[in-house]
Amino acid sequence: MKKIPVIIDCDPGHDDAIALILAFAREELDVKAVTVSAGNQSIEKTLLNAKKVLSFIGKHPPLAAGATKPLFRKLETAAEVHGESGLDGPSLPAPDFSEEPVPAVELLRKTIMETPEPVTLVPTGPLTNIAILFTAYPEVKKNIRQISLMGGGIEAGNWTSAAEFNIFVDPEAADIVFKSELPIIMAGLDVTHKALFLREDIAELRRIGGRVPILVAELLDFFFEYHIAQDFAGAPLHDPCAVAYLVKPELFSARQYHVDIETRGEHTAGMTLADRRHWSKTKPNVTALLDVDRAGFVNLLIEAFKSYEK
């Protein structure tokens, strides 16, 4: 089977960590590099968290840290969701490898230009690094197959009533990416709020046992509490949706839309505005994921976690 070369740009973050664990478990994917963004926490913390998680699962991809803040705005983090460390809950051992001595944009450019097959980008945090890449090195686009990102929401936001966190943190970066003319698969809140891990799924992880299933159970214990307090039925696994679509697209339903990013609105900055007028002539730029087979999604993840114990 021909593997899909991917680069994951993430801001770990509990669900980013689970997206990394899923990606490295799947033989369909060849994770060529991991870059980190500032978002859920500062770049120092998201970098450390990425190193800890990758070390824990025994993976040591080329890794680099990106921008310390959004293109124009001050950084807004999500300590109330992911904790002060950005990965509160489990106590992970110190990392056993270091990042590359280059910024993320350089690792992205080098990896994309040196990979013989067109690369799939998988951003699961704010899009600052990807926007910088496209601005500094537009030539990379000819060797990018698609972007499968977690971000946005057609129906609503989460960080504000209009905007989802990743897009809200850096709307200008998202605007650059959504105007890139590259194929974009958008795993927005429309689908990720249905991609729920329930209490019984976490209990199943503990019944299965093993280092990685137990780590994920501990990550979800923390992540779950925040969302239960918000009357969710479970923990929405946002970022793993962007990875799961690449390996099992049949789990999802999707529609094509033209999506614009609001960068100016007093109340709507960061909104992913989809043109849903049936008579519209705007050219779609996004495949928006709208629904998921939750049981199939949970099973895909659990099988991935179990695979580390073999």
**Residue from the set 13, 90, 240, 270 that interacts with ligand RIB by CB under 6 A:** 13
Closest to ligand RIB by CB, 11 vs 190, is: 11
The residue whose two tokens read 């991991």 is 34
* Residue 77 binds ligand RIB, judged by CB under 6 A: no
* Residue 124 binds ligand RIB, judged by CB under 6 A: yes
**One of 14, 193, 227, 238 is an active-site residue; which one?**
238
Record the tokens describing residue 135, joined without a space: 């601005």
Q: By CB under 5 A, which span of 94-102, 124-132, 152-160, 247-255 interacts with Ca ion? A: 124-132
Active site residue 238: yes
Do the beta carbons of residue 38 and residue 81 sit within 8 Å? no
Number of residues lying near Ca ion (CB under 5 A)? 6
Site mask for ligand RIB (CB under 6 A), range 144-163, x = bound: ------x-------x-----
**Residue from the set 4, 6, 13, 22 that interacts with Ca ion by CB under 5 A:** 13
Distances (CA, A) of 174 to 40, 207, 212: 16, 41, 33
Do the beta carbons of residue 46 and residue 13 sit within 8 Å? yes
Closest to ligand RIB by CB, 15 vs 99, is: 15
Do the beta carbons of residue 17 and residue 219 sit within 8 Å? yes
Q: Least Å distance between CB 14 and ligand RIB?
A: 7
Distance CA 33, CA 35 (A): 7
**Residue from the set 32, 52, 59, 238 that interacts with ligand RIB by CB under 6 A:** 238
* Residue 195 binds ligand RIB, judged by CB under 6 A: no
Distances (CA, A) of 217 to 115, 199, 221: 35, 10, 6
* Residue 88 binds ligand RIB, judged by CB under 6 A: no
Which ranges of the chain does DSSP label H, i.e. alpha helix?
Answer: 14-25, 43-56, 79-82, 104-114, 128-136, 165-169, 171-178, 189-192, 199-208, 211-228, 238-247, 294-307
The phi, psi pair for 150, rounded to 5°, reads -100, 120
Segment 57-116, which members bind Ca ion (CB under 5 A)? Answer: none
Residue 158 binds what, of Ca ion, ligand RIB, none (CB under 5 to 8 Å, by partner type)?
Answer: ligand RIB
**Residue from the set 124, 148, 263, 285 that interacts with Ca ion by CB under 5 A:** 124
* Residue 193 binds ligand RIB, judged by CB under 6 A: no
Distance CA 54, CA 30 (A): 15
Do the beta carbons of residue 121 and residue 145 sit within 8 Å? no
Which chain residues interact with Ca ion by CB under 5 A?
A: 11, 13, 16, 124-125, 239
So which residues are the catalytic ones? 238
Which chain residues interact with ligand RIB by CB under 6 A?
A: 11, 13, 15-16, 39-40, 124-125, 150, 158, 164-166, 238-239
